[in-house]
Chain A
Amino acid sequence: MLRFALSRALSLALSLVVASVVIFAVIEVIPGDPASYMLGLNATPEAVAALRDQLGLTGSLPVRYFAWAGGMLTGDFGISYTYKVPVADLVAQRLWISLPLALYALALSTLIAFPVGLIAAARRGSVTDYGIMGATQLGIAVPNFWFAMLLVLVFAVNLRWFSAGGFPGWEGGPLPALKALTLPAIALALPQASILARVTRSALIETLSQDYIRTARAKGLSRRQATTRHGLRNAMIPVLTIIGLQFSFLLAGAIIIENVFFLPGLGRLIFQGITQRDLIVVESLVMLLVFAVILVTFLVDLAYAVVDPRLRRRA
């Protein structure tokens, strides 16, 4: 198991190196010089050159790559062109909203999806199952910004249980902050929970038709015991895969919901960075997200091995 973890960790490190080279190369080759863009159309070549120098855009590619990658490793992400503050600070600020929001939404989605999927699988073909399948279909189909606005209308405007948007920060304690994140988390969790419930249902149905479930029943386990003792863990592999994908998506993919609720999260920061050609911000954020995705994949891999002993030997 330890060897498995080490080998996965090695592959994680290699993936990061490859990803950093690719990201750096892509950003370098796309047209649009940040210096001339920032200075406008009337800038003199001398002024542009001076700004380029100031921004660290001169020097050979390898030198710039190592400076950038080395900075990343030490937490120095460079200075934003547009905000004139260290990118690390910007990211940290935004991460304190986006990360809790993603975890909150993921927790909600998992907590809803598991029991729902389990019930649907256990009562396959019943009215309950059809009801759940219909509801999850709807959950996937409804655009989440529309659902978010509905939540605002009902719970913020009419019932006044929550505020309609904004974020009070964590300084005032966790409760007000979590409260502000609740509606956005629900809006984010709805389609994710719907997908996850369907995956859980189909994985369980597949598992419950396996021979070893029949063996368990022949040993005297009730249908429920066979499902919980032998079915659930075997059905986990596809479910873990989806959870991993969903977390990566939630971290940066919440941009529309962040806009609906006026939350200054990572999604909005990327969007602003792109529109303002703030390449340092974009580069750093993309790298950070790649890191997050690879890290989640690593954790999911480890979880696979915990769940299924057959995967432990394969390195």
Chain B
Amino acid sequence: MIRLENLTLDIHGQAILRDVSLDIEPGKVTGLVGESGSGKSMTALAMMGLLPHGASTTGHAWLDEGDVLAKSEREMCDLRGNRVGMIFQEPMTALNPVKPIGEQVAETLVIHGRATRREAIEIARARLARVGLPEERFALSRYPHELSGGQRQRVCIAMAVALNPELLIADEPTTALDVTTQAQILDLLKGLVAEEGMSLLLITHDLAVVAGLANHVAVMQAGRIVEQGPTEALFRTMAHPYTRKLFSASHHKPDRAKQAQGAPLLTVENAVRDYPTARRGLFGRPGSFRAVKGVSFTLHRGESLGLVGESGCGKSTLTRAILGLDALQGGAIRLQGQDIHSGPRLASAIRRRMQVVFQDPYGSFNPRWRVERLVAEPFHLMDQRPHDIANRVASALDDVGIEPAAMSRYIHEFSGGQRQRIAIARALITGPDIIILDEAVSALDVSIRAQILDLLARLRAEHGLSYLFISHDLSVVRAITDRVLVMRSGEIVERGETAQVFAAPTHAYTRELIAATPTIPADWQGDLHA
């Protein structure tokens, strides 16, 4: 039994956790849900004794009879990886890039003196096989960069469970993964809990993930657990307003009138995009990889078109070609009949009619520029810079709900949601016809995401914009698009009206994607919809 009792945490005097009490039962899955900054990860790090400098805690974290918070660093080293294992959100960076995977799994055993190096490698081999990486296909001598994100997360799980810990803490273990990979990893975790009797503390922002996996759920807001209980009961009642808010935000569908289909605006005809691959041999010719295999579609004026697919399916490659960043190897992309790839560079007259908003609201701004300059940047696409730049920036900011006084501030002063609003203002400033939204809401919390989706719906109605909405998140695509394209391995495998595709998918891959998407059982939500 693991029990948190009135856990309170301050970091450099700032309150992070307040009176967190939670029982984690053996052999059960406990879900901890909340938005970023709510303190979920800090709760986990407190239990691991890995809090950052300047942290001070009160309360207790009981692991059997011992209080983890009272243990010395040496005792904690004995405990970590041994009695409590942990996996993290970002499998791409969680493994040491210069050590083979077998060695990294074996290290857990060696470091705790549980096995000699030779025995440890044997156990590592078995554990890797257990998490779905059998040695025949995934040699122990492989390096992390030779594995996909899902495979790396499996290695992390093998490392964390190598010593059969009593508690496994999984901090957003599938957030960075594709929906089908997510389903597999969640399945694996579920199987491990069932077979080995360990407890799992599953930390996530995704209510649907806990609904499908957890026995017990705790909802966290601003450092406090506001509601907890057995999963089904909690979802059926949703006693706390925050739980209800979180739930409705995750299902949010912006109000959007179906607009009459306008004239074709962007046409993609048999677009082909090849990538050179590594040379074969010293004097060999580089090979090539066809990432986009003859894709065709049309985006009409005022339409919101979704493009879904898993990472590596070619959607980003296609996006780059549409934006004129890469040349096509075949086919054509036209904006109102004008071939955008006719010149060596995309004409600025075309570029200013197509703007883009990227996923990462932190990385897509120059940190040394003020907001006014950031938003005004696309003006260099105009033949003549307008003289009322400040006014236009102010009105674009006003459009996206940012007060114009923000013009003189720097981007680090804004939250993720505000930054994404500013990115949208930057896209709007040249009065484009099309905005390409490349995973534009994927990094945002559900409540912020709901607001941004509302904003996008309003802007489309006001400005008659067309959206190409690229995402791996089916629920978002479902909420905001009129038509949807499903892409796999460089090809569009299914297309149609969004509602229809989701209701009756015809292609096996679309069915697989929809089935893999975690959902909250419909009858659990009765009270809210009533």
**Could you tell me which A residues sit within 8 Å of B by CB distance?**
3, 6-7, 10, 210-212, 214-222, 225, 229-230, 233-234, 307-310, 313-315
Shortest distance from the beta carbon of B176 to any chain A beta carbon, whole Å: 11
Q: How far is the CA of A222 from the CA of B86 in the complex (A)?
A: 15
Over the window 68-106 of chain B, the binary record of Cβ atoms lying under 8 Å from chain A Cβ atoms (1 yes, 0 no) is 000001100111111001101010011111110000000
Cβ contact within 8 Å between B78 and A212: no
Cβ contact within 8 Å between B88 and A211: yes
Cβ contact within 8 Å between A212 and B95: yes
Cβ contact within 8 Å between B98 and A309: yes
Cβ contact within 8 Å between B111 and A220: yes
Name the one of B80, B97, B279 contacting A220, with C-beta atoms under 8 angstroms: B80
Given contacts A210-B93, A220-B77, A315-B279, 13 further A-B pairs with CB under 8 A are A6-B282, A211-B88, A212-B95, A214-B94, A215-B88, A218-B81, A218-B85, A218-B88, A220-B81, A220-B108, A230-B96, A309-B98, A310-B145
Cβ contact within 8 Å between B159 and A212: no
Give the interface centre of B80, B112, B145 by most chain A CB atoms within 10 Å. Answer: B80
- B95 cross-chain contacts in A, Cβ below 8 A: 212, 215
Cβ contact within 8 Å between B81 and A211: no
Give the interface centre of A210, A211, A222, A225 by most chain B CB atoms within 10 Å. Answer: A211
Q: How far is the CA of A43 from the CA of B145 in the complex (A)?
A: 70
Decide yes or no whether B107 CB sits under 8 A from chain A: yes
Cβ contact within 8 Å between B159 and A219: yes
Cβ contact within 8 Å between A211 and B94: yes
Q: How far is the CA of A219 from the CA of B111 in the complex (A)?
A: 8
Name the one of B80, B90, B281 contacting A211, with C-beta atoms under 8 angstroms: B90
Name the one of B86, B112, B278 contacting A218, with C-beta atoms under 8 angstroms: B86
Q: How far is the CA of A233 from the CA of B93 in the complex (A)?
A: 16
- B73 cross-chain contacts in A, Cβ below 8 A: 222
- B281 cross-chain contacts in A, Cβ below 8 A: 3
- B93 cross-chain contacts in A, Cβ below 8 A: 210-212
The residue on B at minimum CB distance from A220 is B81
Q: How far is the CA of A211 from the CA of B80 in the complex (A)?
A: 16
Decide yes or no whether B143 CB sits under 8 A from chain A: yes
The residue on B at minimum CB distance from A207 is B96
Over the window 34-77 of chain B, the binary record of Cβ atoms lying under 8 Å from chain A Cβ atoms (1 yes, 0 no) is 00000000000000101000000000000000000000011001
- A313 cross-chain contacts in B, Cβ below 8 A: 278
Cβ contact within 8 Å between B97 and A222: no
Q: How far is the CA of A216 from the CA of B88 in the complex (A)?
A: 12
Cβ contact within 8 Å between B111 and A217: no
Give the interface centre of A211, A218, A307 by most chain B CB atoms within 10 Å. Answer: A218
Decide yes or no whether B156 CB sits under 8 A from chain A: yes
Decide yes or no whether B160 CB sits under 8 A from chain A: yes
Q: How far is the CA of A43 from the CA of B99 in the complex (A)?
A: 70
Chain B contact residue count (CB 8 A cutoff): 34
- A315 cross-chain contacts in B, Cβ below 8 A: 278-279, 282
Q: With A214-B88, A218-B80 in contact, is A3–B282 under 8 Å at CB?
A: yes
- B145 cross-chain contacts in A, Cβ below 8 A: 309-310
Give the interface centre of A217, A233, A308, A313 by most chain B CB atoms within 10 Å. Answer: A217
A-B contact pairs, 15 of them (CB 8 A): A3-B282, A211-B88, A214-B50, A215-B159, A217-B50, A218-B88, A219-B80, A219-B85, A220-B78, A222-B77, A230-B96, A233-B98, A234-B98, A313-B278, A314-B278
Q: How far is the CA of A313 from the CA of B160 in the complex (A)?
A: 30
- B90 cross-chain contacts in A, Cβ below 8 A: 211
Cβ contact within 8 Å between B108 and A219: yes
- B107 cross-chain contacts in A, Cβ below 8 A: 216, 219, 221, 229
- B48 cross-chain contacts in A, Cβ below 8 A: 217-218
- B156 cross-chain contacts in A, Cβ below 8 A: 215
**Could you tell me which B residues sit within 8 Å of A by CB distance?**
48, 50, 73-74, 77-82, 85-86, 88, 90, 93-99, 107-108, 111-112, 143, 145, 156, 159-160, 278-279, 281-282
Q: How far is the CA of A211 from the CA of B152 in the complex (A)?
A: 13
Shortest distance from the beta carbon of B107 to any chain A beta carbon, whole Å: 6
- A222 cross-chain contacts in B, Cβ below 8 A: 73-74, 77
Name the one of A3, A218, A229, A310 contacting B160, with C-beta atoms under 8 angstroms: A218
Q: How far is the CA of A229 from the CA of B108 in the complex (A)?
A: 12
User: 3 closest pairs, A vs B, by CB?
Assistant: A220-B81, A219-B81, A211-B93
- B282 cross-chain contacts in A, Cβ below 8 A: 3, 6-7, 10, 315
Shortest distance from the beta carbon of A133 to any chain B beta carbon, whole Å: 19
Q: How far is the CA of A215 from the CA of B162 in the complex (A)?
A: 14
Cβ contact within 8 Å between A216 and B50: no
Q: How far is the CA of A300 from the CA of B37 in the complex (A)?
A: 44
The residue on A at minimum CB distance from B146 is A309
- B50 cross-chain contacts in A, Cβ below 8 A: 214, 217-218
Shortest distance from the beta carbon of B409 to any chain A beta carbon, whole Å: 27
Q: How far is the CA of A6 from the CA of B282 in the complex (A)?
A: 8
- A214 cross-chain contacts in B, Cβ below 8 A: 50, 88, 94
Q: How far is the CA of A212 from the CA of B282 in the complex (A)?
A: 34
Cβ contact within 8 Å between A308 and B81: no
Q: How far is the CA of A309 from the CA of B95 in the complex (A)?
A: 13
- A221 cross-chain contacts in B, Cβ below 8 A: 77, 81, 107, 111
The residue on A at minimum CB distance from B112 is A220
- A309 cross-chain contacts in B, Cβ below 8 A: 97-98, 143, 145
Cβ contact within 8 Å between B98 and A308: yes
Cβ contact within 8 Å between A212 and B86: no
Q: How far is the CA of A214 from the CA of B171 in the complex (A)?
A: 13
- B79 cross-chain contacts in A, Cβ below 8 A: 220
Shortest distance from the beta carbon of A97 to any chain B beta carbon, whole Å: 38
Q: How far is the CA of A218 from the CA of B95 in the complex (A)?
A: 12
Shortest distance from the beta carbon of A12 to any chain B beta carbon, whole Å: 14
Q: How far is the CA of A205 from the CA of B399 in the complex (A)?
A: 43
- A220 cross-chain contacts in B, Cβ below 8 A: 77-82, 108, 111-112
Shortest distance from the beta carbon of B24 to any chain A beta carbon, whole Å: 17
Shortest distance from the beta carbon of A79 to any chain B beta carbon, whole Å: 40
Q: How far is the CA of A305 from the CA of B18 in the complex (A)?
A: 49
- B159 cross-chain contacts in A, Cβ below 8 A: 215, 219
The residue on A at minimum CB distance from B107 is A219
- A215 cross-chain contacts in B, Cβ below 8 A: 88, 94-96, 156, 159
The residue on A at minimum CB distance from B79 is A220
Q: How far is the CA of A218 from the CA of B168 in the complex (A)?
A: 11
Cβ contact within 8 Å between B78 and A310: no
The residue on A at minimum CB distance from B155 is A215
- A225 cross-chain contacts in B, Cβ below 8 A: 111
Cβ contact within 8 Å between A212 and B80: no
Q: How far is the CA of A239 from the CA of B86 in the complex (A)?
A: 32
Give the interface centre of B93, B98, B111, B145 by most chain A CB atoms within 10 Å. Answer: B98
Q: How far is the CA of A129 from the CA of B159 in the complex (A)?
A: 34
Q: With A218-B81, A222-B77 in contact, is A212–B279 under 8 Å at CB?
A: no
Cβ contact within 8 Å between A212 and B108: no
The residue on A at minimum CB distance from B156 is A215
- A212 cross-chain contacts in B, Cβ below 8 A: 93-97
- B77 cross-chain contacts in A, Cβ below 8 A: 220-222
Shortest distance from the beta carbon of B149 to any chain A beta carbon, whole Å: 13
